[in-house]
Amino acid sequence: MAQVFGEGRFKGKRVVTGVSGQSTVVRYIPMMRMSDEELRQAIKFETDKYLPFDVNDVVMDCQALRNTVNAAVEGDQSNGGKGTMTVLLAACRKEEAERQAQLVKRQGLTPFAIDLDLFAVANAWELCGLPMESASEGGAPSAIALVDVGATRSSVNVLAGGESCFSREINIGGADMTQAIVRRLGVEGFEAEAIKRAADSHQTEVSLAIQPVLEELASELALSIDYVEHHEGVQVEETLLSGGGILAPGVPQYIEQATARPTRTWNPLEALRVDVNRVDVEELEAWAPSLVVAVGLASRVQSR
């Protein structure tokens, strides 16, 4: 981290980091409609039903989802006429949050926020453009699926009306593809990684090697999309891919075929101004899909 800040000559000292994996939990909780202040108090009594950790061992935050498509109408009499709402609850084990904060502080920097990687992807998308909000041909609200294929895991975050209505992490990522190439071609890990990203001379071998990994990943993504459409009443119109794992040959095409949804990669740098005197723009563009989480985290830091 110190080397990155030194070479980048960054002026700011505030840092946003991301967490993911088994130390984090995301839940979508139905609750009686209430104010944000009331929610902050009420959520304390709901966490024991939804968190696999002791409430004293986590840091957490919550947000009422205003546009949730499956929320009950205002006139629902089951809660005294107040209706219901869906609350997004995010939690992280304290020890992981403290580890991240101390890592930043040891570099002489200031921890500004700790976000979840899968929501950082949504922040980057919001920075680039407006999510779709129109109804599909079948009348159901349209949604998009943001899928980020990272090194050790992949995340899917479905947005409807600009808000998350479903999210999930899948323990499959680019490292699994790399190891599959190692086994098939008998090369070292660093060689397999290079071959995966520039597979012109080994495209057939790489495609055959990573196919079982892609099959498993695509199957999990298809199940996630089917689940959210059935339970949330939305129509996922498009899958948008990011992450270093999608740089392997044929990944977008394979996922599109398996999920039966239009699928494309997207560039988180489209809405950003880049100083061409300090950055190799061509190289930056080549790596753009793998920068989505970083851009989403950086978007949390407001300039002063």
Distances (CA, A) of 52 to 48, 183, 243: 8, 36, 28
The two three-digit tokens of residue 188, written as one number: 């070292």
- DSSP state string for 252-269: HHHHHHHHTS-EEE--TT
CATH of the domain at 11: 3.30.420.40
Please report the sign of the dihedral spanned by the C-alpha atoms of residue 176, residue 181, residue 184, residue 189.
negative
Q: Is the residue at 258 inside a domain?
A: yes
**Per residue in 22-31, is it b (16+ CB within 10 Å) or e — as a string?**
ebbbbbbbeb
**Chain-wide mean pLDDT for the chain?**
87
pLDDT in tens, 132-167: 555 556 667 899 999 999 999 999 999 998 899 999
As a whole number, mean pLDDT of residues 231-245 equals 93
The HSE-up count of residue 208 (CA atoms within 13 Å, CB side) is 7
Q: Is the residue at 304 inside a domain?
A: no
On whether the pTM is more than 0.75, the answer is yes
As a whole number, mean pLDDT of residues 109-115 equals 93
Q: Within 10 A of 248 (CB to CB), how many other CB atoms are there?
A: 26
pLDDT of res. 277: 83
Q: Is the residue at 303 inside a domain?
A: no
202: domain range?
2-298
Task: Find all residues with CB under 8 Å of 188, minimum gap 6, and list them.
Answer: 182
Residue ranges of E strands in the chain: 14-19, 24-32, 58-65, 84-93, 110-116, 142-149, 154-160, 163-170, 235-242, 263-265
Reported residue count of the chain is 304
Residue 13 reports pLDDT greater than 50: yes
The two three-digit tokens of residue 154, written as one number: 């992949």
- Count the domains in the chain: 1
pLDDT in tens, 21-78: 999 999 999 999 999 999 999 998 888 889 888 889 999 999 999 765 444 444 444 4
